[in-house]
Amino acid sequence: MIATQIEPMSALAQLQESKPDRVTIVLLSGDLDKAMAAFIIATGAAAMGMRVTMFFTFWGLNTIRRSGATRSAKDWLRRMFGLLNRGGADTLPLSRFHFGGLGTKMMQTVMKQNRMPGVPELMQTALELDVRFIACTTTMGLMGITKDTLIDGIDQFAGVTTYLAEAKQGSVNLFI
Amino acid sequence: MIATQIEPMSALAQLQESKPDRVTIVLLSGDLDKAMAAFIIATGAAAMGMRVTMFFTFWGLNTIRRSGATRSAKDWLRRMFGLLNRGGADTLPLSRFHFGGLGTKMMQTVMKQNRMPGVPELMQTALELDVRFIACTTTMGLMGITKDTLIDGIDQFAGVTTYLAEAKQGSVNLFI
Amino acid sequence: MIATQIEPMSALAQLQESKPDRVTIVLLSGDLDKAMAAFIIATGAAAMGMRVTMFFTFWGLNTIRRSGATRSAKDWLRRMFGLLNRGGADTLPLSRFHFGGLGTKMMQTVMKQNRMPGVPELMQTALELDVRFIACTTTMGLMGITKDTLIDGIDQFAGVTTYLAEAKQGSVNLFI
């Protein structure tokens, strides 16, 4: 009888082990506040021992673009889009009160005064904590963003199937 | 003893079967990029055999409005709101760089050049893959949108309870 | 043999009990429509007997600020940010068609005509249904928002770890 009582528990343990705490974050937004929220959750979860995957798509790709990287899209339309849509984790605007850069600068100043890490620092921490970075190939093409203009440390260049395979095992799946 | 080892597994299998991989997406946004992301995830998940439910609310209702449908809201306030808030999957603006239509046109051109499906095509695929479309009745009333101005293929007109009943069984629940 | 068949089921029941239906909502947005969606889901889930936790961060903190509360941030930068960023559940703008307040007013009028509850009423219902309110301490500091300017009924002032501990047990985790 003891065995029968132990068996189901170990089977349950197996089930729980097969579904460890995973976090996936789709970052579509290129706003400073939303990118901060995404990286604060990602680094927090990784520090708590959770397996974290971030999937960068559309404007979210801006956060993982190297600052000042030259645009190398082949056709002029995408090159133009790339010019309008500046990248780099340190140039993200606020979703509100950007005010041509003033509001964003203001918040960055407050962050520095309070020694709060910005997006570049949070991103570095995320990479050190083994948060997996996936760049969405579908939207990279769409936005004229090429691999060589992205930061080092991208784990995978992939599409929606890769994201879903991870997300369906995730306990926390956010779209930001 | 063999039986006792088998039993818990089959019970676990039952549990897992009772919680198949379900995806729910609340689409509140009426932005082209966010609608694209929503439909790419929905069609991707449906193609992988997952059960997908999309819940259209607020501006997200615009994606399932028939283009050029006449407004039939009864009071002038809602009719006015309906006029301002144009619908149709082919008229959604970008969340960034809309530029009075120029940026949005530009991205649509890039999509066509690369033979990428737009929102109307992705929506059609979603319907063919049996993605369930639910239109939020609460916000339809609020925004002066009537049933006769929506596309065919809406599975249900319902509220938050219907959404939550599905979402609580979902493994991937996104709010876009 | 009967016992061995019952054991796994009760173990499963335990597992299911240890993971009751929990809903967590991160509200980063300060838009009227998104706040409404968040509170409609929160109150709906609470009414269905689910355990609901709302985590207010960045502009989402505006929904739980008392209207007309004086700003008491210590440094002028944050005080200035607090002035620009007005709070109070009754002053949230629409994410679209705000039109300097006209579109927002219009929707609020339609809501009143149809006896639909607004954000202040939904928030009151949420509190009565024991929805837990957590204010994000990290972003409160960032935005010059102090405890004394928030409404009564906040359950906890906490950070990302508290959110994740709840979310990883949640069946529905939304980021709005």
Give the 3-state secondary structure of C32-92.
Answer: HHHHHHHHHHHHHHHHCCCEEEEEECHHHHHHHECCCCCCCCCCHHHHHHHHHCCCCCCCC
- Across the interface, do C33 and B161 touch by the CB < 8 Å criterion? no
Determine the pLDDT at residue A71: 56
Determine the pLDDT at residue A115: 83
Q: List phi, psi (to 5°) of B62.
A: -60, -35
Dihedral sign of CA atoms A32, B118, A167, C19 in order: positive
d(CA A127, CA A137): 20
Whole-number average pLDDT of chain C: 84
Compute the nearest-CA separation of C163 from chain B (Å): 17
| Partners of residue A176 in chain C, C-beta under 8 Å | 175
Grade residue C114 by pLDDT with cuts at 50, 70 and 90: confident
Residues of C with CB under 8 A from a CB of A: 3-4, 7-8, 11-12, 15, 26, 28, 30, 57-59, 75, 77-78, 80-81, 84-85, 138, 141-142, 144, 159-161, 163-165, 167-170, 173-175
Determine the pLDDT at residue C103: 78
- Across the interface, do B12 and C12 touch by the CB < 8 Å criterion? yes
Evaluate whether the domain defined by C20-175 bears CATH number 3.40.1260.10.
yes
Grade residue C87 by pLDDT with cuts at 50, 70 and 90: confident
Which has more pLDDT, C18 or B40? B40
Which has more pLDDT, C90 or B87? C90
Determine the pLDDT at residue B53: 98
In CATH, the architecture of A21-175 is: 3-Layer(aba) Sandwich (3.40)
- 0.80 exceeded by pTM: yes
The answer, yes or no, to whether residue C92 has pLDDT greater than 70, is yes
Determine the pLDDT at residue B1: 41
Determine the pLDDT at residue A128: 97
Low-confidence ranges of chain B (pLDDT < 50): 1-9, 16, 18
Write down which chains contact chain C via at least 3 CB pairs under 8 A.
A, B
C161-171 mean pLDDT: 96
* Short-list A135, A59, A143, A80, CA closest to B116: A143
Give me the sheet containing B51-56, strands edge to edge.
B156-158, B132-136, B51-56, B22-27, B172-175
In CATH, the architecture of B22-175 is: 3-Layer(aba) Sandwich (3.40)
Low-confidence ranges of chain A (pLDDT < 50): 1-9, 18
- What is the share, in percent, of chain A residues with pLDDT greater than 90? 55
Determine the pLDDT at residue B96: 80
With CA atoms as reference, the chain B residue closest to C34 would be: B28
Q: Per the structure block, which two tokens stand in for B160?
A: 């938050």
Roughly how many angstroms between the first and final C-alpha of chain B, as a whole number? 50
Determine the pLDDT at residue A74: 64
Q: Considering only the beta carbons, identify the residue of C9, C48, C110 that sits closest to B164.
A: C48
d(CA C150, CA C144): 12
* Short-list A64, C111, C117, A112, CA closest to B143: C111
Instruction: State the Cα torsion B114-A168-C173-B36 to the nearest 10°.
Output: 10
Determine the pLDDT at residue A19: 53
- What is the share, in percent, of chain C residues with pLDDT greater than 70? 78
- Across the interface, do C110 and B77 touch by the CB < 8 Å criterion? yes
